[in-house]
Amino acid sequence: MKYNDIYQKARQIIADYLRVEENEVNLETDLVEDLCADSIALVELGFKFSEVFSVPMMDAQPESFIVKNIVDFLECNMNTVKK
């Protein structure tokens, strides 16, 4: 899966789960600061990403709540799983 495809799918998951418009989610979006995601939402999104992309859960670090870092993690771990 290409980076942009991962980004678009992750963006759709985030928008659907947090009930925001997809245009509110971009690579610089911080799920906590910009979209007011709480800890429960972050855990559930982590499970959803793990399920959809077949990757392990991300560590809950503040920088991991930025969409670009999420997409980078997904891309890296999807490629690792395939090898």
The total number of structural domains that make up the chain:
1
CATH number of residue 10's parent domain: 1.10.1200.10
**Residue 64, burial from CB neighbour count under 10 angstroms (0-12, 13-18, 19+):** middle
Mean pLDDT across the stretch 28-39? 95
Query: CA 21 → CA 8, 46, 63, distances in Å?
Result: 13, 20, 22
Span 57-76, pLDDT tens digits: 887 776 779 999 999 999 99
Mean pLDDT across the stretch 49-53? 95
Q: Which domain holds residue 75?
A: 3-82
At 49, is the secondary structure helix, strand, or coil?
helix
User: Do 31 and 42 touch, CB atoms closer than 8 A?
Assistant: yes
Mean pLDDT estimate for the chain = 91
Mean pLDDT across the stretch 4-31? 97
Global pTM reads 0.87
Which carries the bigger pLDDT value, residue 82 or residue 9?
9
pLDDT at 80: 65
